[in-house]
Amino acid sequence: MSHSQAVQRIGIVGLGYVGLPLAVAFAEAGIPVVGVDKDLNKVTALNVGESYIEDVSDGRLRPLIATEVLRPTKDYAMLEEVEAVVICLPTPLSGHREPNLSVVVGGAEAVARHLRPGALVVLESTTYPGTTREVLLPIFETDGRRVGEDFHLAFCPERVDPGNRRYTLQNTPRILGGITEGCTLKAKALYSKVAEELHLVSSPESAEMAKILENVFRSVNIALVNELAILCERMGIDVWEVVEAASTKPFGFMPFYPGPGLGGHCIPVDPFYLSWRARAFEMTTEFIELAGRINVGMPRYAFGRIAAALNADKKPLNGSRILILGVSYKANIGDLRESPSLSILKLLSGSGANVAYHDPHIPFLPDQKLSSVGLTREEIRRADCVVIATDHDAMDLRMVVDSASRVLDLRNAVRKRFGAPLPPHVDVL
């Protein structure tokens, strides 16, 4: 293959929330895809046309598998067939909230062993500015290979919002930054097959920082409104009414809403990548770290509000039955990553509460040895306190309010659905 030949086949490494929808998008665009994942259960499920990602239906997946336009495998050697590889591997935080790039590094090393001459490599995994150049480039510049000549390398941050029907992989603009201008143009040619709008930047570092900025912006503003929610509760002020009122200003204000904590694959994690990286430049990112502390502390604040709600009914936390409604990190999806509900559940169980949960999207919590209970009047009446932790549309909150003796609404869900005023047995964050 000549170095100038257009991409005819693509490899996607990591078939999770980011990689699988991307693989399906390229396959639907007519580009044969090799999907690599080390998880045999995922590969097996995909090869029989069963999707484990809510944004990819079995109906979309099966014809792609049947026609072998999408070929899932554990074998990195199959990447020798492709002209471009996109790495979509997880970048979690360590127990000390520092970046853990071991999965990405391991994946990149495996890709490097099977990289075709002239191939394009794109990293989508969210990480700190400098990763593409300082960590990935040396992995691929081995055996005499030179970037821009023997291979091409770029960064294109994922912007997946699970469950979002308005902004999809196709109509959400993509940011591209390559090691060289030629690398950027190679990436542009590839992503133009699946994205309606592309924004090119001068370097991978700019693209990496742009992704971090998006989520730092949200983290800091969510922390601000969470802190105000705590203050408003002490002052006897309705924070939801305050945010609604401030939102009437047609300029200069963007509403953010309080809640029991941050969840998902980006906002709880990405800011810590930047604050860690900043220490290498002898700088403390005080706003980011303060926001992180506030948001990390919100599950414990919610736990305290549950205890206070029980206390209002002269009931101890120890021995009381708590029904948690919703354990995924956001409404209408089954994604548990960094979900604050799990932290709240752990705090309650550790304090002797009898905890049950209902979530139409998550039937089991194996680590907690719990199964979702039915949302029935009997189950609601059994609970000393019902906690609305995630506002799934499928949950019958009218029945919850009518049947429960005490409700703590961490999402303002009751008022959003039925309006004010709240019944006296319903408390809101």
Let me know whether 180 and 246 are in one domain.
no
Q: Is the pLDDT of residue 3 over 50?
A: no
Let me know whether 235 and 198 are in one domain.
no
Residue 150 forms part of a structural domain: yes
Locate all alpha helices (DSSP H) within 114-238, ordered by sequence.
131, 137-140, 181-191, 204-235
The CATH number that applies at residue 67 is 3.40.50.720
Residue 108 forms part of a structural domain: yes
Q: Which amino acid appears at position 320 of this protein?
A: S
- Asked about 266 being catalytic, the answer comes back as yes
How many domains are there within the chain?
2
Q: Is the pLDDT of residue 429 over 50?
A: yes
Question: What predicted TM-score, i.e. pTM, was given to this entire model?
Answer: 0.87
Q: Is the pLDDT of residue 227 over 50?
A: yes
Let me know whether 254 and 159 are in one domain.
no
> What are the phi and psi torsion angles at 235 (to 5°)?
-90, -5
> At which of 170, 202, 234 does a domain end?
202
Q: Confidence band (pLDDT; 50, 70, 90) for 272?
A: confident
SS3 356: strand
Let me know whether 80 and 156 are in one domain.
yes
125-139, 196-210, 252-266, 370-384: least confident range? 252-266
Q: Which residue is associated with the tokens 């490599």?
A: 121
Let me know whether 220 and 180 are in one domain.
no
Nearest-angstrom CA–CA distance, 172 and 160: 9
Residue 210 forms part of a structural domain: no
> At which of 172, 202, 232 does a domain end?
202
Q: What is the mean pLDDT of residues 283-299?
A: 91
Q: Is the pLDDT of residue 17 over 50?
A: yes
The dihedral formed by the CA atoms of 331, 164, 271 and 98, expressed in degrees to the nearest 10: 80
Let me know whether 154 and 48 are in one domain.
yes
| Domain limits for position 30 | 10-202
Let me know whether 21 and 94 are in one domain.
yes
**Active-site entry in 156, 183, 232, 266:** 266
Residue 69 forms part of a structural domain: yes
Residue 251 forms part of a structural domain: yes
Let me know whether 246 and 388 are in one domain.
yes
Q: What is the mean pLDDT of residues 253-280?
A: 85
Residue 4 forms part of a structural domain: no
What tens digit of pLDDT does each residue of 354-375 get?
999 999 999 999 999 999 999 9
The dihedral formed by the CA atoms of 292, 295, 296 and 298, expressed in degrees to the nearest 10: 160
Nearest-angstrom CA–CA distance, 133 and 139: 10
Q: Confidence band (pLDDT; 50, 70, 90) for 2?
A: very low
The per-residue pLDDT for 79 is: 97
Task: Please state, rounded to an integer, the average pLDDT across all residues of the chain.
Answer: 93
Nearest-angstrom CA–CA distance, 216 and 277: 14
The per-residue pLDDT for 54 is: 86
Pairing assessment for the beta strands 370-371 and 364-365 based on DSSP bridges: antiparallel
Task: Quote the DSSP letter at residue 368.
Answer: G
Q: Is the pLDDT of residue 97 over 80?
A: no
Could you tell me what percent of the chain has a pLDDT over 90?
83
Q: What is the mean pLDDT of residues 377-392?
A: 97
What tens digit of pLDDT does each residue of 162-179 get?
778 888 889 999 999 999
